[in-house]
Structure 1
């Protein structure tokens, strides 16, 4: 499923091509690209749930109020997000790329992925996908894009 999301992001969203609106047409195109229909449906549902997270129905993460609390990860989140991933989320919050609401959206989307091997690079792409889909977060998206595509200079400490 993650491969399909990456394919869609790289071929439509990130390249700024017009996204095929017809669900069946998009499904057929993905099937022709070699993806299984069941996985295609899961990926499209994942994207739909991402859009649902920003609904203004009062129940979304974006309508939540910030708190002074510390985020404690559940056992399942710790299994999926290793210490490097969790540290990167904190780093992004400290940079201002993520806030409490977007962090929770990222964690929600990560936990919905059906992948056995999730790593830091995968997390970076999920963050990019979430930020891209949020109006008003263009600066954060640009910062994240820079973090994803720029190679660091010198040793990392």
Structure 2
């Protein structure tokens, strides 16, 4: 499934250029991907599309969390995350994601490149991915796909961290 997602990211890096799912399926089949991998990736991408459409980025970025106007515009029952809040992961999330993936999500959050609304989509899509614990390289692909779904490109240093193979790094 992740090979298909990487192909989609590389070939349709502008999310709006990506064809509809049934047409994408035909294109992926023509490229030579396995039917089961394509189906799994399309189901996963559909979930990503739904999550991205239901998130209202503009409301979170246009005003501070304590601004009453921004809070009034938020969907009913949705509260912005305060600066002092802490995300607690369920036992199921901890088991499925594993220590490396959770540590990487924490790193991205503390670096200020993974806002709370995107973090929740990353966690949701990671929970929908196969593998327990989830491989760190697979989580990096998920983070890239979440950025892609919002039509955003990560900062160059973040992109380097997401695409860099740590096995070939040389310690100084």
- TM-score, length-normalised on structure 2? 0.69
Q: Which residue of 1 aligns with 2:37?
A: 39
- Alignment coverage as a number of residue pairs: 149
What whole-Å deviation, never above 9, does each CA across 1:73-97 have from its counterpart, x for those lacking one? Answer: 1222112212121111111111111
In structure 1, distance between residues paired with 2:34 and 2:121 = 27
Answer yes or no: is the 8 Å Cα contact 1:46–1:109 preserved in 2. Answer: yes
Contact 2:97 2:132 in 1 (8 A): no
The answer to whether 1:102 aligns with 2:118 is: yes
For the structure 1 residues 39 and 99, does the alpha-carbon distance in structure 2 shift closer, same or farther, using more than 3 Å as the test? Answer: same
Mapped pair 1:6 → 2:6: yes
- Shift, 1:56, TM fit: 4.9
Match in the other structure for 1:48: 46
Question: Gaps (5+ residues) in structure 2?
Answer: 61-73
1-structure distance, mates of 2:15, 2:98: 34
Residue 26 (str. 1) matches residue 24 (str. 2): yes
For structure 1, the 5+ residue unaligned runs are none
Question: Which structure has the larger Rg over C-alpha atoms?
Answer: 2
Secondary structure of 2:85's counterpart equals: coil
Aligned position for 2:128: 112
Cα distance in 2, alignment partners of residues 17 and 101 from structure 1? 18
Please state whether the residue corresponding to 1:66 is helix, strand or coil.
Answer: coil
C-alpha spacing 1:28/1:80, structure 2 compared with 1 (3 Å): same
By how many angstroms is 1:18 displaced?
A: 8.2
Q: Distance in 1 between matches of 2:81 and 2:33?
A: 40
| Alpha-carbon contact 1:85-1:119 (below 8 Å) kept | yes
